[in-house]
Chain A
Amino acid sequence: MKKQLITLSLLLTFSLLSFSQGKDELRSSCVMSAGANAKFLKDFVVQLGNDAAQNDFRYKANIALWKNTKYRFNLCSATDSKGLLILNVKDDGNKVILSSFDKKSGKTYPYIDFICQKSGMYQLSYDFTNGQQGSGVGVVSMVK
């Protein structure tokens, strides 16, 4: 029994460490994928289960964006994700300003450049395509 408990603890520790390591690697590679002219601002680690019935994007975060700034939103999905990470950005009037997912064609974009002309609070909403399970990283940077 004692042996089994030790093995279980080791396994749990190992899986937690591997997950943490995988997450850090994904974060680093996603930051680098923004390109040499991009300056890192923030990142969001998104992990969601399967929920195909949902209507709205599930992971939400607010951010202040400033006029006369070009932002880049990079989206990176872990290799074991079922869906691809997608993003909607809404302004403070709940109007969708941009989306990395075209519902009609089903096309997804790995990054979006946003030339901001209105300073204010914006809502970033992340999910995975078709409400599938996945883990990924959304990076926000500034580009010249």
Chain B
Amino acid sequence: MKVKGVVILIVVITGFACKSSSSKPSEFVFPEVDTVPLSETQKLSPEAIADISKNISSPVEIANMLVNLDVPFSQNYLATSIDANKLSTNFDKAIKLGILGADLGYLNMYEKTGSSLDVLSSIRKLAEDIKVGQFFDFESIKRLSKNKSNLDSLLFISIDSYTKIDNYLRENDRGQLSALMIIGVWIEGQYLATQVVSKVPNKMLMDRVGEQKIILNDLIFLLAPYCNHDSEYTALCKNLQEIKDKYHDIRITFTQGDPISVEKNGGLTVTQTETSVVEMSKEQLDGIIEITKNIRNRLVINN
């Protein structure tokens, strides 16, 4: 029975993968996740869960895009209302650990490393509270932040600390906290992007917001096994579904083409000629901005 369930799931996922790449031009559509019973998603292997966790974009990617687009830094986007000393449940601690991780990525990318010390202290407190403090290399990150000397090392150690926490939680049957942390990172990244795009309507940034449709289902899959855990999890599952609903009619199509490779300085540069195109109306974008803001603010303010 278990095997049958996994096979059904694989067929659904494979069907979606083929659907999104077979015709010319092809179109991305949500897999019919609603047709897969919740109990089936609970049978995802640890490897599949690990894979999904790694798929979700890094918190520094959105921040990097903002830097490249010369979007000015704003302290107002940060989740400054979070008080790590006032949180009581592990749900709150894990999701806010994710949210603050995205903020740390934003601060680092803008080299506002002096301002990141408060965020770092909160991260350390939350990590210690959920018994993963040993993986957060606080002293090294603090030292590198103060020096402002080596952004490469700072990014590496920060991201590596989060990866180690994520791995440890999943390997020790605390996957629900890992899922919350990843969702926290994503929601804050999405919040940063949507807040900026509401003030600076840049096409590339708008497209990036629309393209999140591609990974939204993975986030839903990640949390699905815990939706009935308690009321906090149930509410978050409902929130993700609300975001998904806003994305339903956004179209992502793909044009075909072969990559072009050129040898350069001993390495290889490959330029993709296939493209993805996002079709999203202003109303649709406004709907995403609004729902993201509401959900993120509820998570941040409701200590």
Interface: A117 (CB within 8 A): yes
Contacts of A109 in B (CB 8 A): 266-268
Neighbour of A41 across the interface among B18, B61, B215, CB < 8 A: B61
Contact present for B214 and A39 (CB under 8 Å): no
Contacts of B215 in A (CB 8 A): 64, 121
Contacts of A121 in B (CB 8 A): 17, 55, 214-215
Contact present for A66 and B156 (CB under 8 Å): no
Interface: A100 (CB within 8 A): yes
Interface: A67 (CB within 8 A): yes
Interface: A2 (CB within 8 A): no
Contact present for A41 and B272 (CB under 8 Å): no
Contact present for A115 and B270 (CB under 8 Å): yes
**Shortest beta-carbon distance from B135 to chain A in Å:** 14
Contact present for A42 and B54 (CB under 8 Å): yes
- A-side interface residues, number (CB < 8 Å): 39
Interface residues in B139-163 by Cβ distance below 8 A to A read 151-152, 155-156, 159, 163
Give Cα A114 to B261, complex, Å.
Answer: 9
Contact present for A142 and B270 (CB under 8 Å): no
Neighbour of B68 across the interface among A41, A116, A144, CB < 8 A: A144
Contact present for B68 and A117 (CB under 8 Å): no
Nearest opposing residue in chain B for A116, CB measure: B272
Give Cα A106 to B274, complex, Å.
Answer: 27
Q: Mark B254-273, 1 if CB is under 8 A from A, else 0.
A: 10000101001011111111
Contact present for A68 and B21 (CB under 8 Å): no
14 contacts between A and B (CB under 8 A): A28-B156, A31-B152, A40-B159, A42-B163, A64-B56, A66-B208, A92-B17, A97-B270, A109-B266, A109-B268, A111-B268, A115-B269, A115-B271, A119-B211
